[in-house]
Structure 1
Amino acid sequence: MKILPVFLFAASIAMAGVTPKVTYHFEPNGFKGDSTRLVVHVRLPAGWHIQSNAPLDSFLIPTTVRAEGKDLAFGTALFPKPVEKEYPALGGKVALFEGEIDIKVPAKRNGTKVKPEVLKTVKVKLGYQACNDTQCLPPKEIEAVMESKSK
């Protein structure tokens, strides 16, 4: 019975190392008129990938990005073109993201003048399922208030 705790400990260490690093900034730096664009930068650990936002099979978990902030209205996230790779165990091609990607989210003022400090309180949520060539981990969502380059 000592094997199970050791296995669970090893599995938790492996899963902990698969969390992508997520940062964001605004383009341009703040607002141009009433709009701006949130750029979410995702860096994945080597050897791991996440499913695209539009997987080729319905059983795969899509990557999602949602943003929220006071006095701001966010549009639909715009994802880069995914890489398609062949995975015979999954029955064919899989659309995925690997390495580093930028996801762009349009944002508008919600009818009021947005103070610069409000941009620093934006919350970004990244939903994903991390996989490598032999396994997929359970779906996960990261929620954090990210530091903005806006002043």
Structure 2
Amino acid sequence: MKKVLLMMVALFLTVAAFAQIDEPVKWSYAAKKISATEAIVLVKATIEPGWHIYSQHIKEGGPIATTFTFTPGKDYTLVGKTIEPKVISKYDDQFKMNIGFFENSVVFQQKVKLKAGAATVKGKVEFMSCNDRKCLPPDEVAFNVTVK
């Protein structure tokens, strides 16, 4: 009985060691001051080969769009909306529509007006990543970027 139990535990540990959590998107953040009172917050997604994330502009009935939510701050105000580069657009049979997405990497930009010389811009990004076999549940990542 002990041998069977020991073998089951060893088998479980072996399977657990080979289990892999998919995290195909890594996020990084930076800021670039463009004047004494304005800056651009850069939010970069680095995406593993074969995976993609979606545009901010997805029609209803499609996948979860990439969404930015910025925490209001006393040191800055947002100027306009978060911009994204040109998307790859393809027809998706599952959703029966053209869908815009990004592969490899993408940099989103948000302009901010500084009320003081420096600020820490905080927020979160919600996104959904997919490959040709599966989609992962939507994920949310918090960030903060110091503008000096």
Q: TM-score range by the shorter chain?
A: 0.7 to 0.9
Match of 2:35 in 1: 32
Q: Distance in 2 between matches of 1:81 and 1:35?
A: 24
Q: Are 1:52 and 1:62, in contact at CA under 8 Å, matched by a contact in 2?
A: yes
1:102 is displaced (CA, Å) by 1.0
State the distance in 1 between where 2:35 and 2:99 align: 38
Q: Alpha-carbon deviation of 1:107? A: 0.1
User: Larger Rg: 1 or 2?
Assistant: 2
- 1:22 is matched with 27
Check conservation: 2:29, 2:143, Cα contact below 8 A. no
> How many Å separate the matches in 2 of 1:98 and 1:53?
14
1:95 to 1:57, Cα distance in 2 relative to 1, 3 A: farther
* Aligned twin of 2:112: 107
Q: Give me the TM-score of the superposition, normalised by structure 1.
A: 0.72
Q: Is the 8 A contact 1:70 1:122 kept in 2?
A: no
1:14 is displaced (CA, Å) by 3.3
Decide whether aligned partners of structure 1 residues 100 and 44 sit closer, same or farther in structure 2, where only a CA change above 3 A counts: same
Structure 1 gap segments, 5+ residues each: none
Identity of aligned residues (%): 26
Q: Which moved more, 1:41-50 or 1:31-40?
A: 31-40
Residues 124 and 43 of structure 1, relative CA distance in 2, 3 Å threshold: farther
Q: CA RMSD in A?
A: 2.9
Deviation at 1:56, TM superposition (A): 4.2
TM-score (norm 2): 0.73
Partner of 2:5: none
